[in-house]
Amino acid sequence: MPLPADHWQRALALMDTAVTLRPEQRDAWLDEIAAAEPQVAPLLRKLLSAHQRVETNDILATLPRPDRQTQHPSNGEIGAQIGPFELIELLGHGGMGSVWRARYADGRLKRDVAVKLPATSDNPAALSSLRERFARERDFLAQLEHPNIARLYDTGISDSGQPYLAMEYVAGEPIDAFCDKQRLTIKARLTLYLQVLDAVEFAHRQLVLHRDLKPGNVLVDGNGQARLLDFGVAKLLPETSVVANPATTISAGSDLTEMAGAAITLAYAAPEQINHGRLSTATDVYALGVMLYRLLTGSAPYQPKRDTRGALEDEVLAVDPANASTRFAPIETLEARQTTQVALRRTLAGDIDTILAKALKKNADERYPTVAALAEDLRKHLTQQPIAARADSLWYLTSRVIARHRVAVAASVLGVTALIATTGVAVWQAKVATASAARANKEATRVATAQKVLTGIFSNADPEQSRGDSITAREILERGLASAEKELADDPEALALVLTQIGDIYYRLGLPEQLLAVQRRRVTVLETMPGADVNALVDAQLALGQALGETGESVNTSAALSLLLQALDTARTRGAEQDRVVWALALVADRHRLDRRLESAQGYIAQALALATHVMPEPQPKLAEAHAINAVIARDQGRIEDARRAFEETVAINATGRGHGKVEQIDILNHFAQLEFDSSDYLAAERRALDALQLAKGLPGDLGINIAPARRIAVLAALFAGDYAGAQRLSDDILAPELNAKHPLRSGTARLVNARLAWMTGNFDSAERDLALAEPLLSPHAQWAVRWAVAKSELDIRRDRIVTAESRLQTVLAEQSKSLGPDNIELAPALEWLGVAHAKLNQPSVAQNYFSKSCMLRARSRAINHPARVRCDAYLVLSISDASSGAKATSLQALQAVVSAQRKDDIALLRSLHQVRKTLEQSSTSPTLFGVTFPILN
């Protein structure tokens, strides 16, 4: 029996309120409606049920649909084992499968995971296709290591034919529910939402689109951190392609698309998804726009009169959504945002309306081209800076200035008479502002042109464009360079921007020859362009100078210094911004340091820092790097305290959030930790190394090569500080990834650390095994090969293989003397162990000669209380054959006092000195302590 029209109208009107309520509020509200309007309530519930089916569509619905005849429900039950996982608790289920909380059945990892079980099939072809898709997704999606993305751990099909996806289990609430429950203000919502944008932007850079962004796929945990779920529905490029530009178009005709079908969450679907068009990063931008609209207003951007799929599709395709500021919000929505209707409209009007309108454009080309661009406009809005999505009119620019400086502007109103009297000045300032706006528009146009070319470059990675062939990042870039040269022949400034971007990608891919060629071309383009921007030219010259220096070839390193000096001259004589002058001075200083011209390096860095104090009053990356370069120069000169202060300056700038990037901060902390270790402050070294490791925990991507030094230093610092148990714990916790690293140098150096830990704790056999494994890994690297040889000789001496050790050390010493010269500090360890070897061979005069040379070298670069210097001095005392045991004991006691002064740790050397001194004092005779009785000092 048809329902009366007024019932439909009433139900549709109530829907506007229903969709804004949280689930726990909605049930009670529906009960009230049922009691007050029993004829309308059943229809309202049906409408809500249909709405929720659209709203909650997820990854399970995007999997290949089995034939109806062969489909079975997912067979999960508590305690069942699916692949390596044991199911613990059912989290949810639907027509396409179920989701479970689970853990590893063998107990190897004590963490919960979320296991998704799609409906199964008896069709072998369907299972084979599914297995292939799962394998491809696992390989790609496992790369998405980001603090705001829930990891995909594993995919597969169990022995019983049950497909499964195991993801990181996130205990949290959907972002809209969290915001409402916490009563977050609009500003707080925007700040939280930026976490979502950062995560999606990262995924785009890995060539992964989400395609199903919605509040249900963004959970917020107990720490207020947003976590994105279900990147498993993303379209992926072929495994051999690597792209670093986020504006990549991804083919709608790939195998994954055909297998996955066209399942989407309609409420958040972009027009091109509905029309089965080509998807790109702009598709996710659209969904993010819908999500932001809901977070801010509590309602959807589209309000079709009929709650049907067709009506919603029509609106998405043909109707521009109303401005967010025009939406009427129920009292519950306003309370959840701690605002009023008037205040909410005022907050959303202007920038937010403009940002949302751009994100929700029907034409993907008219939206923000990247998530980063959307995030940048939101950040500018939060700091009351002009956003890119609106024209830079003089009134708009002025209004932003007024918003940022309300107090100053209010005070100036008191001087209105003076303002009228200086109308000429005001007119002049208006012209300047207009000129600035014109420059800004020109720059925006140039960036847009470059962005368009970059998008075209990386669309070459589209399987459709490449006719299904797999192409590598290098091939993409080579094609792109040719395309950019052709398309931007008449716009050299835009070409320079594209070359800058491609150069950055070559740097990240580790292709120095290609990087060098691109940087040369960039400089040529700018040098031959009339009226080229001097700052851009200086930047290009400095980048080329750095690229030349990093090749390691002597002819290039010489050219690098010349080019850096040329950039410095350009910056000074042609009026570049002063921060470029500072940066050029710092890079010239670092080049001198690398070339071992330390006095010249110190002079240039002093100039850089003197200028920086005047032109860089606020923290910024180049200032942080200048202090870091100053630190390593001071370190190389042996000015330890100066180096420590310079590193502390760098760390302080970085702590403001306006210094180095996070990865660069890890490198700085590594250098700082190494400085503290070399200066024998082992507790500080361990702390700095652990700081670097802690910082890396929150960063995406594989940072193994960056944190490898921190892992080694942390273990060695604890060991040298005398905390053997702590060193062993650290080795178990953080050194294992290094021992198993595929990179030979990482694995080899970790084995060297592990061997030292083993013999210091008496496990000589384990040390032998580690050294044997390390030898082939370190032998191609001259410096590390020497360190391995010295370590192996030390172990041999500890195991009384004296002759073997002595022979090896003689070879090492000869090679070092030839390559480094006879007075290099690097010779000290080999000389010292040769002294120990000859002392144990009962040759005191030979031993004393080696000890004397080693102590002389250490005295040049080590403080008087440095353990390495004190140990050598102690050996020299013990090697004097005609000194009495009492005299030796007295000398050792004095050395003990020197090394223990102001130390907060119980280093092994102190224990060794104490034990040898007691042996000398308690002996009734005068022990020679030569031959087998000669002690080894730790």
Task: Count Cβ neighbours within 10 Å for each residue of 571-602 and write b for 16 or more, e otherwise.
Answer: beeeebeebbbbbbbbbbbbbbbbbeebebbb
Tokens of 401: 């200035």
The DSSP output letter for 721 is: T
- Say which range, 318-332, 471-485, 890-904, has the weakest mean pLDDT: 471-485
d(CA 916, CA 892): 8
Which of 312 and 723 is assigned the larger pLDDT? 723
What pLDDT, in 10s, does the model give residues 72-129?
444 568 888 888 889 998 887 654 567 888 988 877 667 788 888 876 656 666 666 6
Bridge partners, 220 (sequence order): 173, 226
d(CA 558, CA 474): 28
- Say which range, 38-52, 524-538, 838-852, has the weakest mean pLDDT: 38-52
Virtual torsion, Cα 332, 337, 341, 342, nearest 10 deg: 170
Which of 33 and 196 is assigned the larger pLDDT? 196
Q: Is the pLDDT of residue 457 over 90?
A: no
Q: Is the pLDDT of residue 934 over 60?
A: yes
Residues 6+ apart with CB under 8 A from 627: 609, 646, 647, 649, 650, 653
The pLDDT score that the predictor gives to residue 663 is 79
Summarize the confidence of residues 907-923 as an average pLDDT. Answer: 87
What pLDDT, in 10s, does the model give residues 705-725?
889 999 999 999 999 999 999
Residue holding tokens 């569509």?
Answer: 57
pLDDT band at 256 (very low <50, low <70, confident <90, very high): very low
Tokens of 844: 């005191």
Q: DSSP string spanning 462-479?
A: STTTTTT----HHHHHHH
What pLDDT, in 10s, does the model give residues 535-569?
989 999 999 998 888 776 767 777 889 999 999 99
The pLDDT score that the predictor gives to residue 627 is 93
pLDDT band at 234 (very low <50, low <70, confident <90, very high): very low
The pLDDT score that the predictor gives to residue 587 is 94
Reported for 268-276, long-range contacts at CB under 8 A and 24+ positions apart, including other chains, are 268/212, 268/213, 268/214, 269/316, 270/316, 270/364, 271/316, 271/317, 271/362, 271/364, 272/364, 273/211, 274/313, 274/316, 274/317, 275/317, 276/252
Q: Is the pLDDT of residue 19 over 70?
A: no
pLDDT band at 854 (very low <50, low <70, confident <90, very high): very high
What pLDDT, in 10s, does the model give residues 316-345?
888 888 899 888 888 888 999 998 988 898
pLDDT band at 836 (very low <50, low <70, confident <90, very high): very high
Q: Which of 176, 180, 212, 796 is catalytic?
A: 212
Please give the distance of CA 138 from its chain centroid, rounded to a whole number. 21
Nearest Cα neighbor of 201 from 370, 368, 369 is 370
The pLDDT score that the predictor gives to residue 448 is 58
Q: Is the pLDDT of residue 395 over 60?
A: no
SS3 480: helix
Cα–Cα distances in angstroms (integers) from residue 397 to residues 391, 428, 433, 438, 693, in the given order: 9, 16, 8, 12, 43
Cα–Cα distances in angstroms (integers) from residue 772 to residues 331, 713, 748, in the given order: 73, 21, 10
Range picked from 62-66, 93-97, 198-202, 231-235 for highest mean pLDDT: 198-202
The pLDDT score that the predictor gives to residue 142 is 61
Q: At what angle do helices 744-760 and 764-778 cross, to 10 degrees?
A: 160
- Say which range, 471-480, 757-766, 907-916, has the weakest mean pLDDT: 471-480
Nearest Cα neighbor of 51 from 86, 18, 85 is 18
Give the total residue count for the chain: 938
Q: Is the pLDDT of residue 456 over 60?
A: no
The pLDDT score that the predictor gives to residue 881 is 79
Summarize the confidence of residues 589-613 as an average pLDDT. Answer: 91
Helices in 679-781 by DSSP H: which ranges?
682-697, 704-720, 724-730, 736-739, 744-760, 764-778
d(CA 68, CA 706): 51
Contact 723, 700 (CB under 8 A): no
Summarize the confidence of residues 885-903 as an average pLDDT. Answer: 88
Percent pLDDT > 90 in the chain is 33
d(CA 722, CA 725): 9
Average per-residue pLDDT in the chain?
78
d(CA 589, CA 633): 8
What pLDDT, in 10s, does the model give residues 65-74?
334 333 344 4
What pLDDT, in 10s, does the model give residues 413-426?
333 333 333 334 33
Tokens of 782: 């001259």
Virtual torsion, Cα 172, 174, 179, 180, nearest 10 deg: -110
212 is catalytic: yes
d(CA 871, CA 936): 10
Residue holding tokens 């080049």?
Answer: 591
What pLDDT, in 10s, does the model give residues 516-531?
888 999 999 998 888 8
Q: Is the pLDDT of residue 291 over 50?
A: yes
The pLDDT score that the predictor gives to residue 588 is 94
Could you give phi then psi for residue 93, rounded to 5 degrees?
A: -155, 160
Which of 503 and 8 is assigned the larger pLDDT? 503
Task: Count Cβ neighbours within 10 Å for each residue of 711-736 and write b for 16 or more, e otherwise.
Answer: bbbbbbbbbbbbbeebbbebbeebbe
Summarize the confidence of residues 662-673 as an average pLDDT. Answer: 90
Residues 6+ apart with CB under 8 A from 456: 480, 483, 487
What pLDDT, in 10s, does the model give residues 791-828?
999 999 999 999 999 999 999 999 999 888 888 889 99
Q: Is the pLDDT of residue 449 over 60?
A: no
